[in-house]
Amino acid sequence: MRDEDRADPRPVDVDDELDAALRGDEAGEAQPDGSLVDDVAALVQDGRNFVEAEIAFQKTRLAFAANRSKSAVVSGLFALAFIHLALIALVVGLVIALTPLVSALGATAIVVGALLFGAFLMLMRMRNSTQEIGDAFGNDNPEGGE
């Protein structure tokens, strides 16, 4: 009976183990097929491969992050533009809504005054925040020495 006619041919590993057993080699004992220098050279080469793969991965990840950051910034700018346009529409709507109650000039003055008051409050908050930042980085030594 030929090998290719067998229904369940033996795997090559089994044949190798049988041959090793017939020669008297112990099972599971690895035969040295290289020197220590070859093993160290292979280890160094594997290390280089791993470093190159890691660098390539980090470059890809950085490119992905840059692409997504660009998309996020553009989306944020468009969102700010839409908010700005909505606030303009709100201001115009307030002027139109107040016109029947007070004159057009009075409605404009009320809306502009409210906006200037809001801007003043925001400037005061900004000044306080920047002063707190300055105090945090200021000289903590009361003697004035370095």
pLDDT in tens, the chain (146 residues): 455 555 555 555 666 776 666 676 655 555 555 688 888 988 999 999 999 999 999 999 999 988 899 989 999 999 999 999 999 999 999 999 999 999 999 999 999 999 999 999 999 999 999 998 888 888 766 565 54
CA distances from 25 to 22, 28, 31, 97 (A): 8, 9, 9, 100
Q: How far apart are CA 72 and CA 119, in angstroms?
A: 28
Q: Tell whether pTM > 0.75.
A: no
